[in-house]
Amino acid sequence: MNAGFRRILEKQEEQPTFPTFTKGQRVSVMLEKRESLTAPPLRYSEADLLSQMEKYGLGTPATRAEIIERLVETETVERKNGRFYPTSKGKQLIELVNEELKSPQLTARWEKQLEAIARGNGNPKAFLRNIRKQTDRLVAEIKQSERTYRPHNLTGSMCPECGSFLKERVTKEGRMLVCSNMTCRFRKRKDPKLSHRRCPQCKKRMEIHEGKAGIYFQCRPCNVIEKAEEQKKTKLGQKERALLRKYSAENDSFSTSLGDLLKQALDKKKN
């Protein structure tokens, strides 16, 4: 039997026990060969993480959720179906830093001292001096180590302004390409910007673009393009509304064929 994930878990699960028999007892057995895989424990959910943080004295009830959000924002973990998975960046970070720095005890100790200071039972100057000294030592250790960090999100495309490679970042507005050179501010959108307008066919949010004729909305999968003005709400009479319905039906086919033409043009450009 291969121990699989159990090799790296400290806690061993109990082995199944067999019934006891007395000597000479006749038993009938039915044998069945089965092969199955054990399932590793689930990744932490937000509630799991919060209770682990509480257990180790990390953060306060007011800051714990924020600390987790910060991990997501800095792309060290990502949320998938309500559970947290380390990213390549997160895994590398854990490999790089000193044992001490990644131990929850260090942070908990610092937080305890801070609490004491808040209650007036500590020496803030000594605390700061100490933290500074510890941080200097920890950073020096990492700098001396042979390990290197490779940005997980480096792309093959070059920054048009300084020639460094661009990194891909996931933001609330979609994917962005940002320059990996810290002193260069270049960034551009990788995904088109999404509007709040819903596609009339699939009801998903439409992309918003600015073309020569002004702002327009587009749903690529459905091949629908709508001009921004169409969204304007005006009070119309019965007749006008009927007319509009008639023409918007025609407009639908118009927008689809416009989308087709645009796609054709784009495809041609690519070839």
- CB of 225 closer than 8 Å to CB of 218: yes
Give the dihedral sign, CA 222/227/231/236.
Answer: negative
Instruction: Name the minimum Å distance from CB 157 to Zn ion.
Output: 11
Distance CA 201, CA 27 (A): 67
DSSP secondary structure code for residue 206 in this structure? E
Q: Which amino acid appears at position 100 of this protein?
A: E
Instruction: Name the minimum Å distance from CB 84 to Zn ion.
Output: 32
100/161 with CB nearer Zn ion: 161
Sheet holding 224-227, edge to edge: 194-198, 205-211, 214-219, 224-227
- CB of 259 closer than 8 Å to CB of 217: no
Nearest C-alpha neighbor of 226 from the set 240, 206, 205, 242: 206
Instruction: Name the minimum Å distance from CB 36 to Zn ion.
Output: 43
Instruction: Name the minimum Å distance from CB 120 to Zn ion.
Output: 49
Q: Which amino acid appears at position 115 of this protein?
A: E
131/162 with CB nearer Zn ion: 162
Instruction: Name the minimum Å distance from CB 227 to Zn ion.
Output: 16
Instruction: Name the minimum Å distance from CB 187 to Zn ion.
Output: 9
Q: How far is CA 266 from CA 190, 221, 261, in A?
A: 17, 15, 9
106/184 with CB nearer Zn ion: 184
129/203 with CB nearer Zn ion: 203
108/184 with CB nearer Zn ion: 184
> Which residues of the shown chain bind Zn ion in the complex (CB under 5 A)?
159, 161-162, 164, 179, 181, 184, 186, 199, 201-202, 219, 222
68/219 with CB nearer Zn ion: 219
Q: How far is CA 150 from CA 141, 176, 183, in A?
A: 18, 19, 18
68/159 with CB nearer Zn ion: 159
Instruction: Name the minimum Å distance from CB 198 to Zn ion.
Output: 8
Distance CA 266, CA 270 (A): 6
